[in-house]
Structure 1
């Protein structure tokens, strides 16, 4: 059976009284099966469905229960509430690393997990299966007659010189709510001070702050935004509105996020989780064959401008409570200028 999206209130597959916030939910495969793989993920259903369907074509008789939550809510579900999901998929590499570092992930070293490139695995617990650059998404209509910015300094100049166009029409992540947004911001700041100048310029234009890439893309396409900063290029490329905007990977540097998987220690079906993880890794290496994994932007990018975020304990630096509090305060001072 093809995927069946269920009302959360009527769902027979997910707990009815969860404290963490769910964004979407669907069940795929054999809904009458006793073998259910429960996945919590930051990836939209439409983004990840091709992978699920490919897996189910080779593994009939299984149901995949797929819950979408923000990266911070995923963390709450697993770290605070000890929810019994079998697999966690997230764009927030730092939060995934913390789950593993704090003993909340199972080790997996068999099958496709053997012999992975160093950048794709940490401690046999966190596994990367995509490389997704953060991009600038620009409304074609709003930029009629304007040159497209190719780097952050050009973007700063364009915003400063055209406040009438961009006032109230600039979007970016709210890093207080989005784990992926916080990750991108801290990595941006690590690479260059230009990030803080750009944040201050955006802050002077009454920016709109978002939890999710998909919402930013929709608002650029609708005309509510003229530009969105640090959007996942993988989502923008696959958007049905792609003809309405242009995707730019900054030539000064492009942050590349690795979407990762781990098997929580609370999993009630770790064998099936390991099987699914192995399947996804098999689709990824040595060269991805699933539409989920193909990125024209990445293939066309200047390799020297790509800044891949490295898996490992270095990601935990900005999760330190003191550092996190100070970083967010500095960000609020720059972006909230009302």
Structure 2
């Protein structure tokens, strides 16, 4: 099926909504409609989906879903991970309208919401077939498979210097008079829930973590809010190397000047967590979207959009022992402990100081 006309329609609608209404913390809004929209009052159910996933990347999957479910109209709101957590918790506590679906790259935040009794249970043969690392309490499910990668500017970084491991990155940062001073970027863990998660997992996994912080400080590395800012900065040469970038977004804008490395010492793989809030008005519609996204057809569309990274064939040479899935389980609640978070953020701020940025 040719999705181009529908994609143009939803992009136009997204722009008109952005101009016409205050979006609070939303980054984008779009509406997807099935063929049953004109069938008369009450014939179409409205499904509200809130997510951190870039609208343009997720659009093909949403288009396919409403095409298969013509009695549904889907409004999609794109949020930053911290803001999505806040609005979802408020809805859970009766302080705002609840979405029908919430899914986020801030997996630790989603585990916290489930732990606060904010989710509705659901089970089916499809969800029960998920690996244990991608399912918790029949209330949270992992729907994607995305690596955290190192990227570099291939025109400005010699291929022999491109760091294949964290030890290689440390070697670059420890050079006297390093040409990488002020030219290495990563997420700001205060403004990015995803960045906080990756960095926190690094602190648990890597013997190199302390050295990485020292190297970031030595080279005056830049911490910034957003995937697009980091990726565009590397493509344009404002940054030479970026660390712990979500690989799906890199693939979506992959240009001739961007090299992508899955670190050979270990690479984290994130599975975005999907939840049906307890206050959802359309729980059946939410379950239908979950079933679709986990179906072979839905997973194939997500793979085409780089949200599911295949590890077979020539796609990745990463060894099995180097793959580190971030499990959706209660251990992630450690990352939400307020005292631990405060200490971690203080350590981070001491490392980056004035090199923290909030945008381009």
Alpha-carbon distance between aligned partners in 2 of 1:5 and 1:106, rounded to the nearest angstrom: 29
Alpha-carbon distance between aligned partners in 2 of 1:161 and 1:326, rounded to the nearest angstrom: 29
Larger CA deviation: 102-111 vs 24-33:
24-33
CA contact (8 A) 1:42 1:91 kept: yes
Q: Cα 1:17–1:180, aligned 2, differ >3 Å: closer, same or farther?
A: closer
Structure 1 runs not aligned, ≥5 long: none
CA deviations 1:28-58 (Å, max 9, x no partner) are 2257674221111111011111211121221
In the alignment, what sits opposite 1:159? 173
CA contact (8 A) 2:164 2:263 kept: yes
Q: Map 1:11-90; keep pairs closer than 5 Å.
A: 11=21, 18=24, 21-30=25-34, 34-80=44-90, 81-90=95-104
Q: Map 1:1-338; keep pairs closer than 5 Å.
A: 1-2=6-7, 3=10, 4-6=13-15, 7-11=17-21, 18=24, 21-30=25-34, 34-80=44-90, 81-110=95-124, 112-144=126-158, 146-161=160-175, 163-241=177-255, 243-283=256-296, 288=300, 290=302, 291-292=304-305, 293-295=307-309, 299-336=316-353
Q: How many residues align?
A: 330
CA contact (8 A) 2:217 2:352 kept: yes
CA contact (8 A) 1:91 1:180 kept: yes
Alpha-carbon distance between aligned partners in 2 of 1:145 and 1:278, rounded to the nearest angstrom: 43
Q: Cα 1:112–1:163, aligned 2, differ >3 Å: closer, same or farther?
A: farther
Alpha-carbon distance between aligned partners in 2 of 1:213 and 1:25, rounded to the nearest angstrom: 19
CA contact (8 A) 1:5 1:25 kept: yes
CA contact (8 A) 1:204 1:337 kept: no
Q: Cα 1:333–1:95, aligned 2, differ >3 Å: closer, same or farther?
A: same
How far off is 1:163 after superposition?
Answer: 4.5
Q: 3-state DSSP class of the match of 2:174?
A: helix
CA deviations 1:161-191 (Å, max 9, x no partner) are 2745222221111101111111101100101
CA contact (8 A) 2:147 2:309 kept: no
Q: 3-state DSSP class of the match of 1:8?
A: helix
How far off is 1:150 after superposition?
Answer: 1.0
Alpha-carbon distance between aligned partners in 2 of 1:321 and 1:94, rounded to the nearest angstrom: 13
How far off is 1:119 after superposition?
Answer: 1.6
Q: Cα 1:163–1:23, aligned 2, differ >3 Å: closer, same or farther?
A: farther
TM-score normalised by L of structure 1:
0.90
CA contact (8 A) 1:142 1:165 kept: no
Alpha-carbon distance between aligned partners in 1 of 2:103 and 2:342, rounded to the nearest angstrom: 26
CA deviations 1:206-228 (Å, max 9, x no partner) are 32222222221111111111111
TM-score normalised by L of structure 2:
0.85
Alpha-carbon distance between aligned partners in 1 of 2:288 and 2:253, rounded to the nearest angstrom: 30
Structure 2 runs not aligned, ≥5 long: 1-5, 356-360
Alpha-carbon distance between aligned partners in 1 of 2:159 and 2:132, rounded to the nearest angstrom: 45
